Structure 1
């Protein structure tokens, strides 16, 4: 057969072209088997972990399977959290143990350094942050990671987090994370500053290919303080200290082809949180998010989104405060209104509510002057949108018609057009021209240009 050498390209997740598919079909006719697998560059990573990762290669029956399984094994090695880079080479088998049509596959790996530090920027909800981090990856050879971060944001937010992550390399991709944290933020729309200090335990796993779960236990000591003398009395009376002990489950079913600019697929996310397992804060909170993307001709996408949330007290002797309630409005939420600029308020300070819903309809199009796919223009989308929503302390009964009438009374409505820019696969930036057409007394609508950047959006 001669010598065949192939080097994988990092991050290449594109599908095969027509010529490549024809070549793969030809490779199916070439019988082959794996005689040996070499993994060069392994130091402190455990041998049994590497052996389990490369085992599927020995099941290959032809050259096409050797290529595809080599790529799959390379991906598995990268996901271990032990290596900086993984390259793969395929060659004919040599030596006294070589078999007819036998091949040898060599993986050249470079392990992560024992200590890694950095200074990075982070994009949050309409905020930029500077992050100082220090990580100790692959602590005992199985992908464990100890990391510490300090965050300082443009909106007077600060954070310190020390976390230990332990992956279990199984089919469910189970990970256990324990962290100790402190975070602080000013909330000028409500007139208070919040500082949280706590311990968080998180169990993450997959129950299917596109279905992920996160089960969390969070114990937080919260401190609320007035920002200035103008803070209203209704906010001042909630200032002070509280202790929240809560369990939370997050279910995510994501079948979209992209999280930032999806062109097809659906997203379903359900959050349930129960607080009151200790401490003096008690409530039951439910939130749901649904998104569907419909591809249209000429690379146009029609997207519909729906959000909703409800919470209620659970224990007579426990309550919850302004920092637990829902808020609505913002450049990536209900556009056409200021951040958290919708809903109940007291003397100009928004106090949140126990229930909300919001919906949006978008029509995304590529830039009109985009010449070819895959270029700089792929970072941008133009869009037309209409969004609406409502928030309040609604008291629902058994009559569905009256409940619907109650939820629709006092709704907010805005529409507009704008330009969106993708920031990697993490966040996006939007510049929109908004026309709010329906608002309630006390709301803070935005007529004209509105700028937003964040990681979640309606």
Structure 2
């Protein structure tokens, strides 16, 4: 059932790649290979060693590794050792974690007994640096500093400041506390300030607020985040040409909201998945104080299917709906839905689909968007096995709609299907490590409305989550 590529050293090392093929053992001094099948190989863990601990407390380590003692065969040992390594990594205490397995030695060793050793290297008391980050079609310079593992159980304080290429700035001061338990709970509290400009909508916004986040796993594959956010928002016009509809919303507002996020990620890779699916559900209720009030629900689904070697068909579907709580509470422009741009409906300008006033995108209360993509290797496979594997040929067709649809309408499906925007095209996609994907596409808007702002021709996009 599993495959491990091992090299003869002081201990037998485990690599995290496990496939549906037999083991190939490749000794360092021999050229011949042999197949080893893990099916039915009985094994149990007698001892677990964790080397390299200095500040980290024993109880939080024991909570991460105790399931290893429940393993009944060798394959189960491999899987549980890999999961234990992931739990240790989630603590944020260690710079590196290596796993070694050896047969049990000494008195009391069982015939099928194994000893598992985790070799860890703890972070220094204070770390920091200057890096770059990409996302949402923007690059940013990030300056960060953190004090990891403050009290020996994964607690950390971190400070981050970023300056984006589109004149956005963000400051965040956070305290993170992992907790014990099979649900892997993590509590985060942060104070933030965010400054952003939206020329396509004619406004700029300054947010200052407090965020409380409680994350946990109901199953190993289902992650939940419960959040409470209180934000003071200052919306201002960007220029003298800003439309009257945008000017009406200028000024201070207070938003207090509860949010629940569910994530199920079964993909084999984040940037270029070849199989698996992703499901994200987000529900938000604002109006627990302040003058902003609404109920909002949104979903994102992605499925990937490998039709041939390195030929992947990907389908995406997303949608959202929101409504106000009362006439006394408003819905800000930063809360409504927008559609269009290289990360959503390609072939249209950023926020180019939907209602506009004097060229400013106003946003809507509902939307849906879908995409069908085919990723293939470059023609003739140049640079195969190296730099060329970072590039993919990309063919796509996207469709969507945005507007103030009402769930109570009898012709809701007709309203969703009416005035559908469609675009298609082809281009190149580039992998930037595990950070982001870059797309350079030649787009053809096929169906659009009179007020839409189309973008035929070459379009550049950079981000992680694309429709």
Question: In 2, distance between residues paired with 1:62 and 1:313?
Answer: 56
- 1:394 to 1:61, Cα distance in 2 relative to 1, 3 A: closer
Give structure 1 stretches of 5+ with no counterpart.
none
CA contact (8 A) 1:4 1:92 kept: no
From 152, 162, 168, the counterpart of 2:179: 168
From 434, 438, 444, the counterpart of 1:425: 434
Give how far 1:65 is off.
Answer: 5.9
From 206, 209, 213, the counterpart of 2:217: 206
- 1:17 to 1:282, Cα distance in 2 relative to 1, 3 A: same
Alignment TM-score, normalising by the size of structure 2: 0.88
CA offset digits 1:86-133 (Å, max 9, x no partner) = 234445655666676765444332111111111010102110000000
Aligned to 1:442: 451
1:6 aligns with 2:11: yes
Give how far 1:241 is off.
Answer: 0.2
- Decide which moves more: 427-436 or 315-324: 315-324
CA contact (8 A) 1:4 1:91 kept: no
- 1:288 to 1:26, Cα distance in 2 relative to 1, 3 A: closer
CA contact (8 A) 1:137 1:145 kept: yes
Give how far 1:149 is off.
Answer: 0.2
CA contact (8 A) 1:25 1:64 kept: no
Aligned to 2:4: none
1:456 aligns with 2:465: yes
Question: In 1, distance between residues paired with 2:244 and 2:314?
Answer: 42
1:38 aligns with 2:43: no
- 1:375 to 1:44, Cα distance in 2 relative to 1, 3 A: same
CA contact (8 A) 2:132 2:139 kept: yes
Once the two structures are superposed, the pairs formed by residues 253-292 of structure 1 within 5 Å of their partners are 253-292=264-303
Give how far 1:344 is off.
Answer: 0.8
- Decide which moves more: 49-58 or 337-346: 49-58
CA offset digits 1:177-213 (Å, max 9, x no partner) = 1110000001000111111000001111122232221
**SS of equivalent residue, structure 2 residue 66:** helix
**SS of equivalent residue, structure 1 residue 78:** helix
Aligned to 2:251: 240
Aligned to 2:22: 18
- Decide which moves more: 441-450 or 405-414: 405-414
1:384 aligns with 2:395: yes
- 1:310 to 1:98, Cα distance in 2 relative to 1, 3 A: closer
**SS of equivalent residue, structure 2 residue 37:** helix
Once the two structures are superposed, the pairs formed by residues 207-356 of structure 1 within 5 Å of their partners are 207-356=218-367
- Decide which moves more: 70-79 or 274-283: 70-79
CA contact (8 A) 1:6 1:88 kept: no
- Decide which moves more: 93-102 or 417-426: 93-102
- Pairwise CA RMSD: 2.7
Question: In 1, distance between residues paired with 2:265 and 2:49?
Answer: 36
- 1:102 to 1:288, Cα distance in 2 relative to 1, 3 A: closer
**SS of equivalent residue, structure 1 residue 20:** strand
**SS of equivalent residue, structure 1 residue 263:** coil
Question: In 2, distance between residues paired with 1:257 and 1:116?
Answer: 31
Once the two structures are superposed, the pairs formed by residues 148-167 of structure 1 within 5 Å of their partners are 148-167=159-178
Question: In 2, distance between residues paired with 1:156 and 1:172?
Answer: 39
CA contact (8 A) 1:4 1:90 kept: no
**SS of equivalent residue, structure 1 residue 234:** helix
**SS of equivalent residue, structure 2 residue 320:** strand
From 125, 129, 134, the counterpart of 1:118: 129
Question: In 1, distance between residues paired with 2:86 and 2:317?
Answer: 35
Give how far 1:64 is off.
Answer: 6.3
- 1:178 to 1:438, Cα distance in 2 relative to 1, 3 A: same
Give how far 1:156 is off.
Answer: 0.3
Question: In 2, distance between residues paired with 1:191 and 1:431?
Answer: 27
**SS of equivalent residue, structure 1 residue 377:** helix
Give structure 2 stretches of 5+ with no counterpart.
1-7, 26-33
Alignment length (residue pairs): 452
Question: In 1, distance between residues paired with 2:449 and 2:183?
Answer: 47
- Decide which moves more: 33-42 or 149-158: 33-42
- 1:398 to 1:36, Cα distance in 2 relative to 1, 3 A: closer
CA contact (8 A) 2:22 2:38 kept: no
CA offset digits 1:125-180 (Å, max 9, x no partner) = 11000000001111111111210100100000001001111112422221111110
Question: In 2, distance between residues paired with 1:247 and 1:320?
Answer: 15
**SS of equivalent residue, structure 1 residue 325:** coil
From 390, 415, 427, the counterpart of 2:424: 415
